[in-house]
Amino acid sequence: MAPQLESFFKQVDDLSDHFIERLGKAVAIPSVSSDAARRPDVVRMAHFLEAELKALGAEVELRPLGKQPDNPSLDLPPVILARYGRDDDKRTILVYGHYDVQPAEKSDGWNTEPFELVVDKDGRMLGRGSTDDKGPVLGWLNAIEAHQVAGADFPVNLLMCFEGMEEYGSEGLDALIEAEAKLFFKDAEAVCISDNYWLGTEKPCLTYGLRGCNYYSIEVSGPAADLHSGVFGGTAQEPMTDLTRVLATLVDTNGVIQIPGIAEQVAPVTEDEATLYDSISFTMETLHQSLGSKTTISEDKKKTLMARWRFPSLSIHGVEGAFSAPGAKTVIPAKVIGKFSIRTVPDMEIDKTNELVFKYVKEQFAKLDSKNTLKVGALHTGNWWVASPKHWNFSAAAKAVERVWGVEPDYTREGGSIPVTLTFEQATGKNVLLLPMGSSTDGAHSINEKLDKRNYIEGIKLLGAYLHYVAVEPMQ
């Protein structure tokens, strides 16, 4: 039998002004985690959430995380661990979100004050953090409140983990999650993260995969100092020449990675997986629009989505030490460092991929027969993640989407990484679901970030409905 949700839904609608006001209060706290000067605001945001959670009757702890590794005089903001409900007869669901935001200044090009929530005539709620991730975090609190006002039973025990350093590498979080896996998170039977976006603007999605990222540097050095080409051109072997020749061997114009052994590691597309792509609401026109050009590798929707989500890609990002200003400087750089990364997918292994990359780069350099020196290394690595979209956590969420939005969700992956997803999965051993609230045009990290009022209000219903469905979904 479908859960009784009408009174909850009605309360969400009735309380919508109050919920928007709550988001306004949160957006007004400029909790920018990357800016040391804003750290008191990040902490203030934690206390704001603590007070709101306590007022709703949740048990709340603020966990200190120690000092910031790259700035030892600075305390990391606390992680909020909260629990709502202790009923042995109910399932326990763990949710994650973050209360810090990206930097924002009006002078960056915002049309409104970034730390003031402005609702425009089209129902766009503009403000830093509106969609990433204060709207979704408050979504959980609002769902609790709407149940209380409606006098409706809350369907699960809810564990909440809200961090304040997500936009600055989630410093300290992994260790806390691992330490609490058998303590605070012990009862969790499934995990839900609302911190990503729909693929488009009209159709909700459930996200079941993320690519990993291995980031590399290739350093080529020769002369002791930068040289002038009028004096030394033609006399010394040039590091920049060697580097560009090596970089040029990594990938072709159509994105095909040239490093042997990479493609062989990629899991084949199964029939089940291929069918997930057919119904996905996505057009090449939208992609051309977001690219601002028609320079796509393929004209085919399915191939394009697969290339973005489930096949690896290699991007060359830049060259440190190279002349890059306008004008015609005749320098010969003495040392240049090329940067590139590979977005990784199942079943690529980090160590094996590193080995293949190092071997290939060294071989390509050796072919040049250069007297310069080459060093290749990995700057950082992070693994891919993929969950089973057939898990009961996902089927429950799919029913909630149908109930609230009246459509079956798309099953999507993302080309980027949300490292905490994998940490939760590995530490708790439970299925993790990504359940987005906002849409593709929200501009999470850019100017004029917004969350549509409709996505916020229906999103609160969705998070609440998900908890009802996940409370009763057969575990198989």
Give the interface with Zn ion as residue ranges (CB under 5 A): 132-133, 195
What is residue 131's DSSP assignment?
I
Q: Provide the minimum distance between the beta carbon of 414 and Zn ion in the complex, in angstroms, as a whole number.
A: 12
Give 46 or 336: the residue with its C-beta nearer to Zn ion: 46
In the sheet with 373-382, reading across from the earlier edge strand, the strands are 313-320, 335-344, 212-221, 373-382
Closest-CA residue to 142 (of 375, 390, 437): 437
Give 307 or 434: the residue with its C-beta nearer to Zn ion: 434
Vertex 96 angle, CA 396 and 6, to 5°? 40
Q: Which amino acid is at 67?
A: K
Q: Provide the minimum distance between the beta carbon of 196 and Zn ion in the complex, in angstroms, as a whole number.
A: 8
Give 133 or 473: the residue with its C-beta nearer to Zn ion: 133
Distance of CA 105 to the CA centre of its chain: 22
**Ramachandran sector of residue 260 (left: φ over 0; alpha: ψ -120 to 50; beta: rest):** beta
Give 133 or 219: the residue with its C-beta nearer to Zn ion: 133
Task: Please compute Rg for the chain using Cα positions.
Answer: 25
Give 312 or 436: the residue with its C-beta nearer to Zn ion: 436
Burial 381-409 (b: 16+ CB within 10 A, else e): bbbbbbbebebbbbbbbbbbbebbbeeeb
Q: Provide the minimum distance between the beta carbon of 1 and Zn ion in the complex, in angstroms, as a whole number.
A: 36
SS3 state at 253? coil
Cα(188)–Cα(472) distance, integer angstroms: 15
Q: What are 175's two structure tokens?
A: 């260790």
Q: What are 475's two structure tokens?
A: 């575990």
Cα(176)–Cα(63) distance, integer angstroms: 9
Burial 43-59 (b: 16+ CB within 10 A, else e): bebbebbbebbeebebe
Catalytic residue among 133, 166, 238, 442: 166
Q: Provide the minimum distance between the beta carbon of 209 and Zn ion in the complex, in angstroms, as a whole number.
A: 17
Give 96 or 184: the residue with its C-beta nearer to Zn ion: 96
Q: Provide the minimum distance between the beta carbon of 19 and Zn ion in the complex, in angstroms, as a whole number.
A: 19
What is residue 332's DSSP assignment?
E
Closest-CA residue to 99 (of 27, 171, 159, 179): 27
Q: Provide the minimum distance between the beta carbon of 418 and Zn ion in the complex, in angstroms, as a whole number.
A: 8
Q: What are 223's two structure tokens?
A: 């002369």
Q: Provide the minimum distance between the beta carbon of 136 and Zn ion in the complex, in angstroms, as a whole number.
A: 8
Beta strands in 359-409 (DSSP E): 373-382, 385-386
Give 321 or 419: the residue with its C-beta nearer to Zn ion: 419
Distance of CA 423 to the CA centre of its chain: 13
Is residue 189 annotated as a catalytic residue, yes or no?
no
Q: What are 349's two structure tokens?
A: 């292994």
Q: Provide the minimum distance between the beta carbon of 102 and Zn ion in the complex, in angstroms, as a whole number.
A: 9
Cα(273)–Cα(457) distance, integer angstroms: 32
Is residue 100 annotated as a catalytic residue, yes or no?
yes
Catalytic residue among 41, 52, 100, 133: 100
What residues form DSSP beta bridges with 101? 32
Q: Which residues are catalytic?
A: 100, 166
